[in-house]
Structure 1
Amino acid sequence: MSASDDLRPRPQLPAGAPESSLGLLIAAVAGLALVALCDAFSLVAGLRLRAAIDADGGFVTAPRQELEAAASLYETAGRYQVIVYLPAAILFVVWFFRMRRNTGLLAPDRFRNGPGWAIGAWLIPLVNLWMPYRIALDMWGAATPLPAGGERYRARTWPVNLWWGLFAFSVLFNRYAGTKYDKAETLTEVRDAVVQYMAADVLHIVAAAAAVHFAVRLTAMQRSKAVQGPYGPAVAKDTTP
């Protein structure tokens, strides 16, 4: 004889059941994709500006008209990046806050700070370099199903670590590249600063992809745990003698 039974408790969701964050997830992912697209445009414009500076057989000389056109395109790409970044950041932070509320309903004991910090942590200088990461780790742990049979609790957090590491490093490196670009006076200095900016653009694109992966995974985990309960799907046990 065989039977399937799950003896672990599967409590119903509390009265304040998590609201759907799918719409916000789609908006946040679209914003991140647009940011990555603008970064790719800036990367292409940077390549063109560098080529214009090095146009004469590797020497740092360039026809004035071609150089001005390349520099104008590069500045335009930079303006697009600034215009797109703010609304994309707002969408992501709103999604982040919604996920903090939703995961807080699933496991309120796993959080060290209140839901309001899911917004405030991004706005305080220096604090915004580490506190959003701590909140993200808490959300990841709250959305992770508990292990069965009294096993030790484990939550693979590499998506959180990858996203935050790339994001923090890209922001800091971008500021460094911006300082070098603003201080550049010769064509050689401009070229070197543009190369650094191009590296920052590549980091931004990879960080945006990591952010999308983190957001999609966390949302899926939260929805799954809300539906299936704290231990995930029931596992059939064969009791055939």
Structure 2
Amino acid sequence: MLTSKDELRPRPPLPSGTPPLASRGLLIAVVAAFAAVALGDLFAVYTGVRLRAVVDGDVTATTVSSLEDTYSLYERAGRVQMVTFLLCAVLFITWFFQMRRRTELLAPNWFRKGPGWAIGAWFIPVANLWLPYRIAADMWNACAPLPTEGKSHRLPMWPVNLWWGLFVGTTLLSRYAAARFDMADSLTEISGIVTLFLTIDLLYVAAAGAAVVFVVRLTALERLRAAEEPYRTPVDA
């Protein structure tokens, strides 16, 4: 956390003298990956609705496809979700790591751990429920405008909180639903769990949208902050 003394401390110059602008190409790739994830989730919603109709004994649905064929399509949607999620995870963590390195140059006093934690934090069991959020919050605050007349400028945290709340909450709910599905032994239970998965898939769509807002806004903030004399402070002035 920055203090008033930290805010007025001159920051080190850039190694090359050029502001570390975030990559727009990587940003476009990450946004496209999240769009693919959202489409995969919507496909899962479609197949889930069909599976529930068959399980519940809807006559129209059963004439179109048997239970086995419908369940096969539902599993295929799950595989599509897995592939798009893995692709998105690779691109997003790459962007997350690069953004962590760039934002540290803007405000080194905000960070207590090295840039490698921007990757490692995602793979530590239990701790990955909050460590990436702390790093994201630090990056967000590091991109705040420079203080003027001794007053610091705080950015609204809702894009970070919304993205992380949806992502973690939906992930935990998904694990609970998967455990229930493995123990289901009747069509009635399967129908109820499929309904739960429909809700989870829709929440994942919302989480993907929130992630896009976070990624786009943080990238824009970093580029703006780096372009407006990022190392000029009231002391220098």
- TM-score, structure 2 normalization: 0.86
Task: Assess if the C-alpha contact under 8 Å between 1:140 and 1:218 holds in 2.
Answer: yes
Alignment pair present for 1:125 and 2:122: no
Distance apart, 1:12 and its partner CA: 9.6
Determine the C-alpha separation between the residues in 2 that align with 1:79 and 1:218: 31
Determine the C-alpha separation between the residues in 2 that align with 1:138 and 1:89: 20
With over 3 angstroms needed to count, the CA separation of the structure-2 counterparts of 1:69 and 1:92, relative to structure 1, is same
Determine the C-alpha separation between the residues in 2 that align with 1:37 and 1:218: 24
Partner residue of 2:72? 72
**Percent of counterpart pairs with the same letter?**
52
Aligned AA (1:165): G
Distance apart, 1:136 and its partner CA: 0.3
Partner residue of 1:239? none
Determine the C-alpha separation between the residues in 2 that align with 1:11 and 1:139: 16
* Structure number, greater radius of gyration: 1
With over 3 angstroms needed to count, the CA separation of the structure-2 counterparts of 1:28 and 1:56, relative to structure 1, is closer
Distance apart, 1:106 and its partner CA: 0.6
Give the RMSD, CA atoms, in angstroms.
2.5
With over 3 angstroms needed to count, the CA separation of the structure-2 counterparts of 1:204 and 1:138, relative to structure 1, is same
Distance apart, 1:228 and its partner CA: 1.0
Alignment pair present for 1:210 and 2:210: yes
Partner residue of 2:53? 51
Determine the C-alpha separation between the residues in 2 that align with 1:13 and 1:213: 30
Aligned AA (2:66): E
Aligned AA (1:37): L
Task: Assess if the C-alpha contact under 8 Å between 1:97 and 1:118 holds in 2.
Answer: yes
Residues 74-94 of structure 1: CA deviation (Å, up to 9, x unaligned): 111011111211111010000
Between the two proteins, the alignment pairs up a number of residues equal to 222
Unaligned stretches of 5+ in structure 2? 1-7, 233-237
Determine the C-alpha separation between the residues in 2 that align with 1:231 and 1:185: 63
Alignment pair present for 1:109 and 2:109: yes
Partner residue of 2:144? 144
Partner residue of 1:34? 36
- TM-score, structure 1 normalization: 0.85
Distance apart, 1:134 and its partner CA: 0.2
Distance apart, 1:56 and its partner CA: 4.2
With over 3 angstroms needed to count, the CA separation of the structure-2 counterparts of 1:137 and 1:87, relative to structure 1, is same
Distance apart, 1:62 and its partner CA: 5.8
Distance apart, 1:151 and its partner CA: 2.0
Distance apart, 1:112 and its partner CA: 1.9
Unaligned stretches of 5+ in structure 1? 1-7, 233-241
Q: Secondary structure at the match of 2:103?
A: helix
Select between 147-156 and 43-52 the one with higher mean Cα deviation: 147-156
Residues 168-192 of structure 1: CA deviation (Å, up to 9, x unaligned): 0011111111111122111101111
